[in-house]
Structure 1
Amino acid sequence: MWFNNALIYQYKLNEDCDLHTSLTEEALKPCPPHARFIYGWLPAFDQEMAHEVAGSSLICLGKEERILPRGVINKMLKEKIQQIETAQGRQVKRAEKAQMAEDLEFELLPKSFCVQKKLLAILDSVSQRLIINTSSNNQASQLTSFLRKTIPGIVIEPLNLAENIALRFAEWIHSPDLLPSDFQLASDCLLFSLEDEKKRVHCKGYELPAEEILTLLSQGMATAEISLIWKERIQLTLTHDFIFKKLKSLDYLIDDFNEAKELEEEYQRQDATLALLSGELRELTNALTKMFVSSNTQINSAPLEPAIAD
């Protein structure tokens, strides 16, 4: 078990909440015949909706989605339009085309295939953080919204960043010795233009600080992402909006995971790897939040967004 990415929130949950029961009540059901998709919870491990170890609960959001390519609808729509225009000798109007397309979708959806997608997350009660295995704000929003729907009263908020992280990235590239002792620069970074964020330069394989990158920074570019190594255990790409991407275990951590894999029972291996994963992410996040997240952050009582519909 491993998270390739991490998008992190704060959360607050009533102590008397039965997480397993709440998730079970909103378990994933088959996608209705005329629905494009449906959300629900899947077992995180075996039959456990929430697999808890050492204060961390692994949960899994499921999405069942019907696959009906727009090209299929357009092809059939074109054929129907041609039939009408040939048979009736008239041109099909725009409103009629739209209604025909809607009718075709309604007809074809129940016949379409369904695919199931999974999104893992950890509720870390020790740090009161929700860690989602994604770098996509849209996917994270789907999970947080459905979690609010599942557990009324849960409060989920983003971390409160205390400074412009891109400026700190630039300082590190100029002077790597400014990095905390547990961190070192890796070889990649992503620069962007402050005038046009679409103008980006991917810098890979450089030994930082590199003259080419310093020149680009001096010309007004900013750092969107930077690759870091933490304690020689994890390598990651940290973005200027505090998203962890391309998380990678390094040798010391790989050795620990290999030891966990040698345990006899599957549940023991699962417990050990979850404890190891959540513990490492907790420590890594603690180290980074000390630099970037406001220390007086408080969780408000009101949710930030409405729950998504089924």
Structure 2
Amino acid sequence: MWFRNLQLYRLSEPFGLDPEALHETLQQHAFKPCAGLDTHRVGWVPPAGRDATQLVHATAGRLMICLRREDRILPAAVIREHVEEKAEAIAEAEARPVGRKEKQRIKEEVIVDLLPRAFTRSSHLYAYIDPKDGWIVIDSGTAKKAEELLSTLRETLGSLRAKPLAVQRSPAKTLTQWLEKKPAREFVLGDECELKEPVDNGGVMRGKRIDVASAEVKSHLDTGMMVAKLAVDWQERISCLLCDDLGIRRLRFLDLVMEQAAEVDADDALARFDADFALMSMELANFLPAVVDAFGGLDED
């Protein structure tokens, strides 16, 4: 349940639904498996797992939700094989070549025939809404997947005014200054970075398990390269990669936090989920403002 990557959004207006009302609304778009010729399906499931019944898990005013996506697995190679077999059979039976348009029609017939029998693969995307502090936090390494969850949530709710996190200072310039001089208060440099030339298709330098403050790394900065990703630790509680697109990747909660989680006496899986969510969201409620402050504060425009 502990989030590993963060895509961050700010609520543009107050979020007025309580857990019960949000649950009832999400039920209108609850997950249903693929049927017939569906290539995929998305819908809401209980974030606390199969044994839970609520589509919203609320802790300390924060609302956890989970989007399930089910995709049909129909490899292109399998389709091509069936198309070629059918085309060859027609060519032999009718002693004529099979043209491109006819092959396209055969392909469509093959897909219609195979799709209902194809295996499916499911994925889950978690997020929580923090109405008090104005955050939507999505556990995703890419903005594309996060936008799918937001789009589905907007469709479910009818409207949802939220926008990607924007800050006053350029993240790339700020992170570059951290390497050139020193990081912001409360942050400590880690052992990984990615530098890029600030031009299209420019060079990239990636370093892992290195001294990011070394002269070698700084020599790349002297050529005009900028930081795209930088590993940092925060207050000995969180480590992560801060990125120039304001995504947060490889999020890890350190020993101080995990020891605190282990001290909680949870009787079952649901109690453990609740305790972990409460602790994780509390840590992020302190960490995210520190990140925003390091980048000069929110850009409300």
Structure-2-length-normalised TM-score: 0.93
Q: In 1, Cα distance between the equivalents of 2:255 and 2:2? A: 15
**1:76 pairs with 63, 82, 100, which one?**
82
Amino acid at match of 1:224: A
**1:184 pairs with 185, 188, 191, which one?**
188
Q: In 2, Cα distance between the equivalents of 1:195 and 1:158? A: 24
Structure 1 range deviating more: 239-248 or 98-107: 98-107
Structure 1: 5+ residue stretches without partners: 299-310
- The answer on 1:25 being equivalent to 2:25 is no
- The answer on 1:195 being equivalent to 2:196 is no
2:3 maps to: 3
2:73 maps to: 67
8 A Cα contact 1:159 1:293, kept in partner: no
Query: Cα distance, 1:181 vs. partner?
Result: 2.2
8 A Cα contact 1:186 1:228, kept in partner: yes
Amino acid at match of 1:234: I
Q: Find the residue that maps to 2:96 and give its secondary structure.
A: coil
8 A Cα contact 1:4 1:245, kept in partner: yes
Q: How does 1:109-120 map to 2 (within 5 A)?
A: 109-120=115-126
Structure 1 range deviating more: 237-246 or 194-203: 194-203
1:205 maps to: 209
Structure 1 range deviating more: 125-134 or 288-297: 288-297
1:15 maps to: 16
Amino acid at match of 1:113: F
Q: How does 1:48-127 map to 2 (within 5 A)?
A: 48-127=54-133
Provide, for residues 105-137 of structure 1, a one-character-per-residue CA deviation record: whole Å limited to 9, x for no partner: 011101111222111111112211110001111
Amino acid at match of 1:272: A
Structure 2: 5+ residue stretches without partners: none
- The answer on 1:157 being equivalent to 2:163 is yes
1:139 maps to: 145
Residue 106 and residue 58 in structure 1: after superposition, are their counterparts in 2 closer, same or farther (change >3 A)? Answer: same
Q: Find the residue that maps to 1:127 and give its secondary structure.
A: coil
Q: In 2, Cα distance between the equivalents of 1:140 and 1:47? A: 24
Amino acid at match of 1:223: V
8 A Cα contact 1:160 1:293, kept in partner: no
Q: CA RMSD in A?
A: 1.7
Query: Cα distance, 1:32 vs. partner?
Result: 1.9
1:283 maps to: 286
Q: In 2, Cα distance between the equivalents of 1:100 and 1:154? A: 43
Q: In 1, Cα distance between the equivalents of 2:219 and 2:200? A: 18
**2:238 pairs with 231, 234, 238, which one?**
234
8 A Cα contact 1:13 1:153, kept in partner: no
- How many residue pairs match? The answer is 295
Q: In 1, Cα distance between the equivalents of 2:200 and 2:169? A: 21
Residue 154 and residue 196 in structure 1: after superposition, are their counterparts in 2 closer, same or farther (change >3 A)? Answer: closer
1:216 maps to: 220
Residue 94 and residue 228 in structure 1: after superposition, are their counterparts in 2 closer, same or farther (change >3 A)? Answer: same
